[in-house]
A and B are shown apart, each in its own frame.
Chain A
Amino acid sequence: MKSIRKQLTAGLLAGLLLLIAAGGLGLHAVLRARLIAQYDAGLLAQARALATLTEDDGEIEFEYAGEMLPEFGRPGAPEYFEFWHVDGRVLERSVSLGTRDLPRRAGTFDAPLFWDLTLPDGRAGRAVGVAFSPPRDDEGTTAGEAAAERRVTLVLARGRRELQSVLHLIALGLAGAGLLLPLGIVLIVVLAVGRGLRPLRSIGAQTARIDATSLALRFPESGMPAELQPICRSLNALLQRLEEAFARERRFTGDAAHALRTPIAELRTLTEVAAMYPDDEDLGRRAVAESLAIALQMERLVTVLLALARGQAAADAVAREPLDLAAQLQRSWARFRDRAADRRMAVAWEVAPVPAVEADAALLLSVLDELFLNAVLHAPAGGALTVQTAQHNGAVRLRIANTNPALAPDDLPHLFEPFWQKDLSRTDAARSGLGLALAAALCRLMAIHIAAHLSEPNQFAVELTFSSARSGIAC
């Protein structure tokens, strides 16, 4: 399992160790170069000092006083120098050399040549070689003598143990720091990462405590690190949605229980009263007939509830086929025509030729049934019902409008809510408050837009918009 803490710790450690290693090596290289440069500067300064002891008064001489330059005669760890004439003859050499020679290599004072070497006494050393012309004594100068012939070469060498010791010490220090720092860094990184992840752990613990009864809980955004604030906001928005969904679910369940309670009460009372008086045949017959009607009513209620509950889950099973809207309307209306006639409703059938619409035939028929049932149930006796179809901007529109003086604009947002009824009493068993909710749910499944309007005074209309109309198949 991936761990942010482990990933952060490993990443930070690897990065920091690389930086430390690179920094250590770089520092060592800079210090080494600096120390060698200082060492070489000292060597060159001493070479310059030795060079000043040479003199050209026609013949090149070296004013060497051994007591003045004790480092070249010091036993144990002496320094060495050697002068050569341009022709390779030795002009002078330090006492420490005896009859031995140093390697003869030279640059100039402007560009001296430094190199490491093994000193005659076997120690590691460093040397500088310069060729130069000794200052001339004009009185003793032989005119016409070529300047090149008067040049001498000086090689100065001394032990470099001190330099090496310092360099070793620096290397040791850096290596020690390179070993100790990672340990400290591990500790710091682990603590810092742990501290940095503490709000995340807090969110995790808080999230683990959330259940269906504590959806009102919200994550505090203030005090949270800036990186976690968007997460808190998203979680709070999710909780808000969950809380609303649970509230809707509870309301739906409560409404469903309430809707079932009345027919169950009717069924129970009818059968109990009939059972109390078995000799009353008329009472018994009526109880049986009413019980059947109640059973059918409850069956429809349960069917609608199941259809609503399945909702989106059934979306995959929805067929999409081109349908003749007018034929579907006629088919559905046939079931309500008599009831509308009984209520003396004035029906205006304004179904214009429109392209075929794409929908599921059975589901569309259910939607139309619910809309017609709703219109017939809620329009007052003698009211009007208008059915219109039209094509607009490539979409097909169906409008079913009926007289309904009871509805107000404030009611519109609730019309598609399950169990919502304008009149809270359920006087008519046919009204369950589920019809428009079911129609809306089925429309959602078929991607049909459904909307309700109060278009004219006392007129309620439901409008369906089929956006996937196919041209060329006129009904």
Chain B
Amino acid sequence: MRVLLVEDSRRLQQAIGAGLRKSGYAVDVTGDGEEGLWYATLNDYDVIVLDLMLPTLDGLSLLARLRGEGKATHVLVLTARDTVEDRVRGLQAGADDYLVKPFAFAELLARVQALARRAHGVKQPEIAVGDLVVQLAARRVTRAGAPVALRPREYALLEFLALRRGQVVSRSEIEQHIYDDRAEPMSNVVDATVYALRRKIDRPGAPSLIQTRRGQGYVLEEPTP
């Protein structure tokens, strides 16, 4: 999952960015409104976390211009303005959710997760592929009831494939959603992560849940007998 954080407080950039990355998100960060709009237009983010008070272009204007350009990316507005009017104004401008500072990071994370699920049309908190279960809210994976320990990047890849289960996902899409602009994925980094993931979730000798479609990408589905 790839998140854009547009926040002018350097400390919040660092703290939220670190927290989201630790939770497996690819995070792009900027503290400038115009730059935030440029990022949001250029990339296909799952969620945008947007502060309202920003230099060069305020958050509501950024949101309006983003929607004006037809971008439907889910936006979580993050601000110190807490009156009902402020919230209504933010939601009417096209925000999908609203969180008032100061906030619990766990709540921010939960809201980002919920928006990310909605971005892929998933409402239930877990996705099952055969006996593999991806618990989206808890960010846990089990296979036949047994927990599977995954690195954040591996979980992010599995979650992205699970959210689009049964669909072929290209390598470039995976790169877009799993890696932020700080990472410089090598050409085979996706393949390497898929390989590591298969070793952890597949049963030895059994067909893999992540199937390769040559020239197209990967698909997560229960193998047909």
Q: Which of B10, B54, B80 contacts A265 (CB 8 A)?
A: B80
Could you list 4 further interchain pairs (A-B, Cβ under 8 angstroms) beyond the known A261-B101, A267-B102, A273-B16?
Answer: A268-B103, A268-B104, A286-B14, A426-B8
A273 to B18, Cβ gap below 8 A?
A: yes
A265 to B101, Cβ gap below 8 A?
A: yes
CB distance from B106 to the nearest CB of A (A): 7
B58 to A424, Cβ gap below 8 A?
A: yes
With a cutoff of 8 Å between Cβ atoms, the chain A residues found around residue B15 in the complex are: 266, 269-270, 272-273, 287, 290
Q: Which B1-20 residues have a C-beta within 8 angstroms of A? A: 8-12, 14-16, 18-19
Given the known interface contacts A262-B80, A276-B19, A425-B55, the answer about A294 and B11 at a Cβ–Cβ threshold of 8 Å is yes
Q: Which A411-425 residues have a C-beta within 8 angstroms of B? A: 423-425
Name 20 interchain pairs, CB-CB below 8 A, sorted by A.
A264-B101, A264-B102, A265-B101, A265-B102, A269-B102, A270-B11, A272-B106, A273-B22, A276-B19, A276-B105, A277-B19, A277-B22, A286-B14, A287-B15, A290-B11, A294-B11, A425-B51, A426-B8, A427-B31, A427-B55
Q: Which B133-184 residues have a C-beta within 8 angstroms of A? A: none
With a cutoff of 8 Å between Cβ atoms, the chain A residues found around residue B102 in the complex are: 261, 264-265, 267-269
Q: Which A248-287 residues have a C-beta within 8 angstroms of B? A: 258, 261-262, 264-270, 272-273, 276-277, 280, 283, 286-287
Interface centre among A269, A283, A423, A427 (most CB of B within 10 A): A269
Q: Closest residue to B82 on the A side, CB-wise? A: A261
Which chain A residues have a beta carbon within 8 Å of chain B's beta carbons? 258, 261-262, 264-270, 272-273, 276-277, 280, 283, 286-287, 290, 294, 423-427, 429
Q: Which of B11, B58, B101 contacts A425 (CB 8 A)?
A: B58
Q: How far is the CA of A465 from the CA of B9 in the complex (A)?
A: 37
CB distance from B55 to the nearest CB of A (A): 5
B55 to A273, Cβ gap below 8 A?
A: no
With a cutoff of 8 Å between Cβ atoms, the chain B residues found around residue A276 in the complex are: 19, 22, 105-106
With a cutoff of 8 Å between Cβ atoms, the chain B residues found around residue A429 in the complex are: 9-11
Taking the complex as formed, is B53 at the interface, i.e. its CB lies under 8 A from any CB of chain A? yes
Given the known interface contacts A264-B102, A265-B101, A272-B105, the answer about A426 and B9 at a Cβ–Cβ threshold of 8 Å is yes
A266 to B9, Cβ gap below 8 A?
A: yes
B105 to A426, Cβ gap below 8 A?
A: no
Q: Closest residue to B12 on the A side, CB-wise? A: A266
Q: How far is the CA of A270 from the CA of B31 in the complex (A)?
A: 17
A262 to B105, Cβ gap below 8 A?
A: no
Q: How far is the CA of A426 from the CA of B12 in the complex (A)?
A: 12
CB distance from B82 to the nearest CB of A (A): 8
Q: Closest residue to B106 on the A side, CB-wise? A: A272
A425 to B105, Cβ gap below 8 A?
A: no
Q: How far is the CA of A270 from the CA of B9 in the complex (A)?
A: 12
B11 to A258, Cβ gap below 8 A?
A: no
A269 to B12, Cβ gap below 8 A?
A: yes
Q: Closest residue to B20 on the A side, CB-wise? A: A273
Q: How many residues of B contact A (CB 8 A)?
A: 25
Interface centre among B11, B12, B102, B108 (most CB of A within 10 A): B11
B53 to A426, Cβ gap below 8 A?
A: yes
Closest 9 CB pairs of A and B: A265-B102, A265-B101, A273-B19, A272-B105, A425-B53, A266-B11, A269-B15, A270-B15, A261-B80
Q: Closest residue to B78 on the A side, CB-wise? A: A265
With a cutoff of 8 Å between Cβ atoms, the chain A residues found around residue B55 in the complex are: 423, 425, 427
With a cutoff of 8 Å between Cβ atoms, the chain A residues found around residue B108 in the complex are: 269
CB distance from B51 to the nearest CB of A (A): 8
With a cutoff of 8 Å between Cβ atoms, the chain B residues found around residue A267 in the complex are: 102
Q: How far is the CA of A45 from the CA of B105 in the complex (A)?
A: 124
CB distance from B108 to the nearest CB of A (A): 8
CB distance from B102 to the nearest CB of A (A): 4
Q: How far is the CA of A287 from the CA of B16 in the complex (A)?
A: 12
Q: How far is the CA of A426 from the CA of B11 in the complex (A)?
A: 12
Q: Which B95-117 residues have a C-beta within 8 angstroms of A? A: 101-106, 108
With a cutoff of 8 Å between Cβ atoms, the chain A residues found around residue B9 in the complex are: 262, 265-266, 426-427, 429
A269 to B53, Cβ gap below 8 A?
A: no
A425 to B14, Cβ gap below 8 A?
A: no
Q: How far is the CA of A265 from the CA of B55 in the complex (A)?
A: 19
Q: Which B23-82 residues have a C-beta within 8 angstroms of A? A: 31, 51, 53-55, 58, 80
Q: How far is the CA of A261 from the CA of B104 in the complex (A)?
A: 13
With a cutoff of 8 Å between Cβ atoms, the chain A residues found around residue B80 in the complex are: 258, 261-262, 265
Q: How far is the CA of A287 from the CA of B102 in the complex (A)?
A: 16
CB distance from B137 to the nearest CB of A (A): 15
Q: Closest residue to A273 on the B side, CB-wise? A: B19
Q: Closest residue to A291 on the B side, CB-wise? A: B11
CB distance from A81 to the nearest CB of B (A): 112
With a cutoff of 8 Å between Cβ atoms, the chain B residues found around residue A265 in the complex are: 9, 12, 80, 101-103
CB distance from B193 to the nearest CB of A (A): 21
Given the known interface contacts A276-B19, A277-B22, A425-B58, the answer about A269 and B105 at a Cβ–Cβ threshold of 8 Å is yes
Q: Which of A258, A264, A269, A424 contacts B16 (CB 8 A)?
A: A269
Q: How far is the CA of A267 from the CA of B18 in the complex (A)?
A: 14
B54 to A269, Cβ gap below 8 A?
A: no
With a cutoff of 8 Å between Cβ atoms, the chain B residues found around residue A290 in the complex are: 11, 14-15
B53 to A272, Cβ gap below 8 A?
A: no
With a cutoff of 8 Å between Cβ atoms, the chain A residues found around residue B104 in the complex are: 268, 272
Q: How far is the CA of A424 from the CA of B15 in the complex (A)?
A: 22
A269 to B58, Cβ gap below 8 A?
A: no
